[in-house]
Structure 1
Amino acid sequence: MERARPIRLFGGKGGVGKTTLAAATALHLAEGGDGDVLLVSTDPAHSTADLLGVVLGGAPTRVRDRLWAMQIDPEADAAAYVAGIREDAEDAVSPEVLPSLERHLKLAAQAPGTAEAALFDRFAGIMDWCPDRFARIVFDTAPTGHTLRLLTLPDMLTAWVEGLAAQRRRVTRLQGMWRNLAGVSEPAREDRVLARLRRRAERFGIARRRLRDEALFHPVLVPERLAVLETRRLCDQLDDADVPVGAVHVNRLLPADAGAGGFLAERVAQQRRYLDEIETAFGGRGLVRVPQMARDAEGYDDLAALAERLPADA
């Protein structure tokens, strides 16, 4: 079942190596020859670009044969999102209201939730590229809290958009009644604000279904107490949100023979205890064990070496 799902998401606690594993998985899939693969970073930190050693922007950039990558800029997307609302609203309101509208939109551009809404809209648009433009898409997501807000937005935003659309329809009807009472006749024209809201509600619904039917979320953790606890909560919340959870990736496992005694031996023993806990908690979802590399991954050669250690079905 996992191999049939073309969209993969990697996420987890900050600093557990999800960017490296997402990039290695994308490379692994690209070298499998199933078609072009796109690696997308939704993390405000530019770790993906630094890891690949390339400059990334808001459009796909070819990194290697069949491997592409891009970096989403939430602030730029939020600005474009609000600009689109401003353009539609200016056509729908009277000139007297425009100064107040401008003030509200400036605040809205920086309000909590606007960046997430714009980011999910971008996220949905990128998913639309699969499978026609890219056979597989791998998302390197922001740390756990940001990712959960992103993935649970469709249900919340769909209800919000439907509420706004209902209010907009009531306002439009009232405006029509007042014009009729005043004897003012105006040609019917498209309500661009309402049309935009309807398009967004439909877009969110499609993206939600694609997440459920075509995506897998791979939690990444290291064998440490806080990472295990956070991953438990993450998996529970993903289950509640009906986002399919794939194999859990356990990163930075020290070799069993690392150090005959002292510090390293204690670290190995601690990892072994937490790995037993991880196997009990997440073994039913499937585990991918990723050994600790001798040094930090840097560039294509290191990623290729890591990709070789991933299972055949990534």
Structure 2
Amino acid sequence: MLLMLSQIIFVGGKGGVGKSTISSSLACNLSSQGKKTLLISTDPAHNLSDLFQVQLSNSILSLNPQLSILEIDPIKEAKHYTQKIAKENKAFVGASSYEMLDRYYKSASENAMTQESALFDRLISLITQELSSWDHFIIDTAPTGHTLRLFTLAQTLKTWSKTLLKYQQKNMHFQNILDTPSTHHKLLNKLQARYEKYAKFQGILQDPKLCSIVFVLNPDYLCIEETKRAIALLQNIQVHALAINKIAPLGSESFFENRYKIQEKYLQRIRSEFHHYKQWNIPLLDCDILQETQIKELLEEIFEKKTCNFD
């Protein structure tokens, strides 16, 4: 079974639909085909350490020669991110202001928006700097809103860094005339590097050969509506497939019969409204998935039944 996927696969969807399990199964199946795969969680409420029953601490852990996993810790990333910025900014102020800067950036590191931005920056750096080191990146994302912000942030940061770069380049003309210190040249180089990083990431996102997204949803009204909105908003990102997860079997009692009928109505709607996308039908299981073999078999069994297609 050869899985034909883009190099970078984001797995998105509403909270609780099974993104972590689907992401992990994708990663296990790809690595079993000899593909060097990095599975990354960007959800602050991480599940990978529980699924694989390992301890993760904001660094890449190799499970075997072909499969590695990483849970990005937003708190640690924010602390590292703000400390780095504080150090850079101290070059522009006197020593008397150092304590004030440290207090400011310590407070900033505890802000949720700072933590999310730092998490995104780590992910962007990983992808842009290590693209040639891995056959596949599987990104287990937080609920849909977080994923949408990630994709829009790439364009925002690219525009922002370009604006700052132009502003600094204009200033450089006068600074060169006045023979000011080389600190400004260092700042210009940093801005140029940031712009190039964000521009590269934006280009990767919009290249269907490099990047695509798999949306996970359950057969219910809210999941369908949220998936429709997400697809509409991500017009420049290739949608590879929909993973319809937790499809319940028909039961004999009236409660389960009624739920099955409701589910069938929504499955029919999914088939109709998303007919131009590949669809993977994944059953509701009668047990927890707590072993790597179970994780791999989740999608492997579906392929054998030919209820989905990776081509």
Verify same fold: TM over 0.5: yes
Residue deviations 1:272-307 (CA, integer Å, cap 9, x gap): 000011111212111111111111211213213213
Q: Secondary structure in 2 aligned to 1:293?
A: coil
- State whether residues 27 and 307 of structure 1, in contact with CA within 8 Å, keep that contact through their aligned partners in structure 2: no
Q: Secondary structure in 2 aligned to 1:43?
A: coil
* 1:5 alignment partner in structure 2: 6
Q: Does 1:200 align with 2:201?
A: no
* 1:27 alignment partner in structure 2: 28
Change beyond 3 A, Cα 1:262–1:187 = closer
Q: Give runs of aligned pairs for residues 143-292 of structure 1, distance below 5 A.
A: 143-169=143-169, 180=178, 188-189=182-183, 191-213=185-207, 214-239=210-235, 242-255=236-249, 258-292=250-284
Kindly state the Cα deviation for residue 225 of structure 1 after the two structures are TM-superposed: 1.0
Kindly state the Cα deviation for residue 162 of structure 1 after the two structures are TM-superposed: 2.2
- Bigger Cα displacement from structure 2, 64-73 vs 98-107: 98-107
Kindly state the Cα deviation for residue 171 of structure 1 after the two structures are TM-superposed: 5.5
- State whether residues 18 and 140 of structure 1, in contact with CA within 8 Å, keep that contact through their aligned partners in structure 2: yes
* 1:303 alignment partner in structure 2: 295
Q: Give 1:212's aligned amino acid.
A: Q
- Bigger Cα displacement from structure 2, 304-313 vs 243-252: 304-313
**Rounded Cα–Cα distance in structure 2 between residues aligned with 1:166 and 1:7:** 31
**Rounded Cα–Cα distance in structure 2 between residues aligned with 1:106 and 1:172:** 31
Q: Give runs of aligned pairs for residues 64-103 of structure 1, distance below 5 A.
A: 64-95=64-95, 97-103=97-103
- Bigger Cα displacement from structure 2, 158-167 vs 141-150: 158-167
The aligned length equals 302
Change beyond 3 A, Cα 1:157–1:110 = farther
* 1:60 alignment partner in structure 2: 60
| Unmatched 5+ stretches in structure 1 | none
TM-score normalised over the length of structure 2: 0.88
Percent identity (aligned): 30
| Unmatched 5+ stretches in structure 2 | 304-308
Q: Secondary structure in 2 aligned to 1:91?
A: helix
Cα RMSD (Å) of the superposition?
Answer: 2.4
TM-score normalised over the length of structure 1: 0.87
**Rounded Cα–Cα distance in structure 2 between residues aligned with 1:157 and 1:250:** 33
- State whether residues 51 and 290 of structure 2, in contact with CA within 8 Å, keep that contact through their aligned partners in structure 1: yes
- State whether residues 88 and 192 of structure 1, in contact with CA within 8 Å, keep that contact through their aligned partners in structure 2: no
- State whether residues 12 and 220 of structure 1, in contact with CA within 8 Å, keep that contact through their aligned partners in structure 2: yes
Kindly state the Cα deviation for residue 111 of structure 1 after the two structures are TM-superposed: 4.4
- State whether residues 5 and 310 of structure 2, in contact with CA within 8 Å, keep that contact through their aligned partners in structure 1: no
Q: Give 1:252's aligned amino acid.
A: K
